[in-house]
Structure 1
Amino acid sequence: MATITDPQTLAFIAATEAAYPADANGASAEENRRYYNQMCSLFYRGRPEGLPVTDRAIAGVRCRIYGAETPVVVLYAHGGGYIVGGLESHDDICAEIADATGLQVVAVDYRLAPEYRFPAQIGDVGAVWEALDRPGVVVGDSAGACLVAALCLDLRQSGRMPLGQVLIYPGLGGDGSAPSYHENAEAPLLRSSDLAGYSQALLGDQIPTELSAPLLAGDLEGLAPAFIVSADVDPLRDDSRDYAAKLAAAGVPVTWRNEAQLPHGYLRARASSDRARRSFGAILVAIARFSGAERW
């Protein structure tokens, strides 16, 4: 595993681990969610003053809407291994995206595993995307990044392809053979051993397909342009590398950015870590660029 020497990153890891112990991933879904929500609340930054925020159902799915309607929308799918997370855990992230880009952001409260197995999650995200019925950029972190990547794959057959896809430290269904799964097997905040539990909760006895594991897709031609950012100290790092290579080979415009000394989940450190802050800034630029927002 790469050695982390950056003091800001080390402080973030220590604070996270104090609230979200390593054995939480082996706890029940209910207990895991309690730990996760407690941890997220420690890093919550609030919302920019004056930003209108409303909750309402879209296509029968609970969503949170940030900002007034704009011609281009941002759809956000949260991370959390499909088991934890929701509108509260990523509330300030979505609010800051809306404020910084001037775009309306719609966060999707998709159904969680193991109570709901795949494809309930991609069904919820896809239903919201279709109901929005306007150009947009799809953004997700971790499990949410997999969902928006899968959404783009699903929309090739029929549907409105997003203007761009932004994948933040995504898990894309790598088979565990890539170097990062071994180099970062005991990485802070996400270990390789945790991934099997997340997959089991999501799929049960199902065999992975390209919609649950986009790296399995044989044809990536015609997908939305992509900005992919990975954490270097993360077992999932090489999923980003490998998916970016497959997109490029298919002729899809793609940028892959790997963040040295940062672990999985580092968006929560954007207020305390210069590295995380710069990465979040690059994500905001990518969203704005895909949307054509003039202020950038």
Structure 2
Amino acid sequence: MAPMGDDGIETVRAMLGAKARPVGWLERRARIAEVGGAWPLADDIELETVDAGGVPAEWSRAPGVGTAGVLLFLHGGGYCSGSLASHRTMAAEAGRAAGLPTLAVDYRLAPEHPFPAATDDAATAWEWLLAEGHRPDEIIVGGDSAGGGLSLALWQRLVRSGRSGPAGLWLVSPWTDLTLSGASIDDNDAVDALLHRPYLEELATAYVPPDVARDDPRVSPLFADLAGLPPTLVHVGTDETLLDDAVRLVRAAALAGADVRFHVFPRMIHAFPLWNAVLAEARRALAEFGDFARARLR
């Protein structure tokens, strides 16, 4: 836990800065697993590996979670890293807060598997949940960073095909604009502990094929028609280069008539609920998500 008198953020910043930035996809994937798992999973979480229609996935269940609803969780990592291991604590504790089992999806990563592989895998996991007997209005979809963008992409895909979407969306530090036009990318460069323009450019290049425009709503949901968006909760920190990706999305959603709720957490960094073991604000965000999910599934 964080030292007495510390809100935890300096502890997390120190952990993130303890090693030089990794180089190459393999090192980056190992590093995000390391920092995401810096504090262990709670002993009372039950894990179950499953094959979700051909997509690797993992159930996490806290004691006493219900069976009527599900959190479908899509991890962050810029579409190029992140895994079940790196985001296990965030996914499990979000489920605990909401009283739901969480199905975390280990979707394929770029550059080996560029768009639309991740969206295809998210859609496959969605269909698997339906085949398992869960109705769309019993499913909350959420994730952080690229997982937030992927949650929006899944909703768009369902809407375009005339299907029912989820009961709600939870978007944490969502990456919504792969054109990198948000002013906060430069304005917050000095305070962001994780993401900077050159790295974001590398991620976007790896994920988006040459024949797909960066402002295509399927990869940059900021530019989507957000009419009909389900109730959505957006969490972001003030110290993120991607702050404006959330701000502009919320504005666009509100103008489209969506029920969107927005909470900006002072001093918090990108994907801060990952470190809920030491960040009080992360636990506050999870509790707020729990209230949101319960209201959606009541």
- TM, length-normalised to structure 2: 0.88
2:150 maps to: 147
Question: Separation in 1 of the partners of 2:150 and 2:91?
Answer: 17
Q: Deviations over 1:132-159 (max 9, x none)?
A: 1122100110110100011111111222
Shift, 1:105, TM fit = 1.1
Aligned residue type for 1:111: R
RMSD: 1.8
- Where do 1:40-189 residues align within 5 Å? 40-44=36-40, 46-49=41-44, 51-67=45-61, 70-133=67-130, 134=135, 135-157=138-160, 158-173=162-177, 175-186=179-190, 187-189=192-194
CA contact (8 A) 1:130 1:160 kept: no
Counterpart of 2:76 in 1: which secondary structure?
coil
Q: Secondary structure at the match of 1:113?
A: coil
2:196 maps to what in 1? 191
Q: Which residue of 2 aligns with 1:8?
A: 8
Task: Determine if contact 1:48/1:96 at 8 Å carries over to the other structure.
Answer: no
* Structure 2 counterparts to residues 248-263 of structure 1, below 5 A: 248-263=254-269
Secondary structure in 2 matching 1:66: strand
Q: Is residue 2:225 matched to residue 1:222?
A: no
Which segments of 5 or more consecutive residues in structure 1 lack a partner in the other structure?
1-5
Mapped contact 2:36–2:86 kept (Cα < 8 A): yes
TM-score with structure 1 length normalisation?
A: 0.89
The one-character-per-residue Cα deviations of 1:21-51 (angstroms, maximum 9, x if unpaired) are 33x2xx211111122222223233x1351x4
Q: In the TM superposition, what are the counterparts of 1:238-277 in structure 2 within 5 Å? A: 238-277=244-283
Determine helix, strand or coil for the equivalent of 2:236.
strand
1:59 to partner: Cα distance: 1.3
> Secondary structure of 2:159's partner?
coil
Count residues in correspondence: 280
Q: Which amino acid aligns with 1:258?
A: V
- The code of the aligned residue for 1:97 comes to A
Q: For residues 90-111 of structure 1, give each alpha carbon's deviation from its aligned partner in whole angstroms, at most 9, with x where no partner exists.
A: 1122222233322121100000
Q: Secondary structure of the equivalent of 2:16?
A: helix
Counterpart position of 1:3: none
Q: Secondary structure at the match of 1:47?
A: coil
Partner Cα separation in structure 2 for residue 42 and residue 52 of structure 1: 19
Rate the CA distance shift 1:69–1:119 in 2: closer, same or farther, 3 A. Answer: farther
| Residue of structure 1 in register with 2:17 after alignment | 17
Identity of aligned pairs, percent? 29
